Amino acid sequence: MGRLEGKRVVITGAASGIGRATTERFATEGARLLVADWNEQGLAETAERVSRSGARIETLQLDAGSESDVERLMSEAESRLGGLDVVYANAGIGGPMTPVWDTTIEEWNEVFRVNTAGPFLALKHAIPALRRAGGGSFIATASVAGLRSGAGPIAYSCAKAGVVNLVQVAAYELSGSGIRVNAICPGLIETGMTSPLFAAARARGSDGRIGQLNPSQRAGAPDEIASTALFLASEDSSYVNGQAIAVCGGLSASHPYVRGNPF
């Protein structure tokens, strides 16, 4: 049996990148899936890839920052899957690559609407179903940019810091419920959201320097985040709660560092 055999799972941001990789991994582990994204075409492609293996998968187009859409997602999960055991609130956007003085309030609000309000809404509306199931696992995608400065622009970094605090506070608010609440903090991962950075590096011929700031000396892959999501979704992590787990090749382990010149 798979590690998620019979588990009823919702994943947002499933049209590409980390969400797609996690959907495929969970399917191979026996999960029953309802996956969602704003990108309907990408969502259909994810479902087609998973369906080839014979796994059961349902899809729903939604805006992860819309309360009515998220409330409908959790309701659909109970009706289509017969309940809910795991939620992975992964949907997010990059936002503007601008310093604080060039970031507009409209850009700031949109990044927070999707990246911070999105996981909050997913948790809020998943709690009743998770309680009815006797407990479960809620996972959110944060970022190393939410742990300290130097890994992302201002709006994105602050929004992801909010996700880290969300899981820490919620874990205590849900004490004794059987619902575990954790976050994954990816480092530099090649996804649709980060593809312009990788493309620019390759165009400059500097792709060999990608990931040079972390001890692993490389960027990560969506599958490596999916492996951590699988751990948090499964009973292997039954005593892990209120944590923000960095999966970053070691980037977040240090203050700014220059090789060969520590002073």
Kindly give the residue spans of alpha helices, DSSP state H, lying in the chain: 17-28, 40-51, 67-81, 105-115, 117-132, 154-173, 195-204, 222-233
Other beta carbons within 10 Å of 196 = 11
CB 247 within 8 A of CB 184: yes
If 0-12 CB within 10 Å is exposed, 13-18 middle and 19+ buried, where does residue 15 land?
Answer: buried
Of 156, 172, 239, 257, the active-site residue reads 156
The helix/strand/coil state of 97 is: coil
Taking the C-alpha atoms of residue 91 and residue 116, their distance in angstroms, rounded to an integer, is 10
Cα three-residue angle 231-237-238, rounded to 5 degrees: 145
- Asked if 156 is an active-site residue, the reply is yes
Residue 23 one-letter amino acid: T
Q: Which residues are catalytic, by number?
A: 156
